[in-house]
Amino acid sequence: MHSWPLFELRLRSPRLELRLGTDAELDALARRSVGRVLPPAQMDFMTYGWTQLPSPEYERSFLQYHWRTRAEWTPQAWSLDLLAFEDGEPVGAFGVMAEAFAQWRTVRTGSWLLPEWRRQGLGREGRAALLQLAFGELGADTATSSAHEDNRGSLGVSDALGYERTEIADETGPSGQPVRMVQVRLTRERWAAVAERILVEVEGCGKACRELFGVT
């Protein structure tokens, strides 16, 4: 058994494997994605403006973020940030996070893919894998997410997986301009209606792993 059980966690869909990346894999994805996650015109699609950092600040920030989520992990507040591999090649990242999960049973998700891997259904597969972990293994009751109102890809994935659009919130984007974010919500019951049609395998989510998520 690994001293950090999350390294044993594997989420598999027909084309993707989601897992924690090694330092070498994180570095490889950082180098491949610098300046390519979002073009400047779409920087408000994600928070904090991290997608627009110049090299080598971007690569170093990328690594530090993944190290930090592991170092600051507690069962009361956690962020699981997994790399997505297609045929062994890192093509993006998918994350699920929660605060006071044992009490509220609610998670949030976020993701991105390199440009050449978009519009192939991989976003849907990766999000479904996260949802199967949350609902099927950890016992979540609700999953939430959000997307820029012009982000048709993300909103299309949410629609396909049964999310309900709950509100549109006005926020200030990384560019400093006002943006409209669509909030979406998926319940355990709505997930159950589509889960049987989705092929996802979760490996390595044993007792020690669930304890890190605050599940006993």
Convert the pLDDT of each residue in 130-166 to its tens digit: 999 999 999 999 999 999 999 999 999 999 999 999 9
**Per-residue pLDDT band at 196 (split at 50, 70, 90):** confident
What does the pLDDT read at residue 78?
A: 98
Instruction: Count CB-CB contacts under 10 A for residue 80.
Output: 24
The residue with greater pLDDT, 195 or 23, is 23
Helix H or strand E segment including 97: strand 89-99
Alpha-carbon torsion (13, 65, 40, 30), positive or negative:
negative
* Model pLDDT for residues 53-99, shown as the tens digit of each residue: 999 999 999 999 999 999 999 999 999 999 999 999 999 999 999 99
| Predicted confidence band of residue 216 (pLDDT cuts 50, 70, 90) | confident
Task: Tell me the two tokens of residue 95.
Answer: 């994350």
Burial 206-216 (b: 16+ CB within 10 A, else e): eeebbebbbbe
Q: pTM (2 decimals)?
A: 0.96
Tell me which of 3.40.640.10, 3.30.565.10, 3.40.630.30, 1.10.10.10 is the CATH number of domain 5-212: 3.40.630.30
Across the chain, which distance is largest between two alpha carbons, in Å?
48
Check: CB of residue 135 under 8 Å from CB of residue 191.
yes
The model's pLDDT over 117-134, given as tens digits with 9 standing for 90+, comes to: 999 999 999 999 999 999
Residue 109 has pLDDT above 80, yes or no: yes
d(CA 193, CA 191): 5
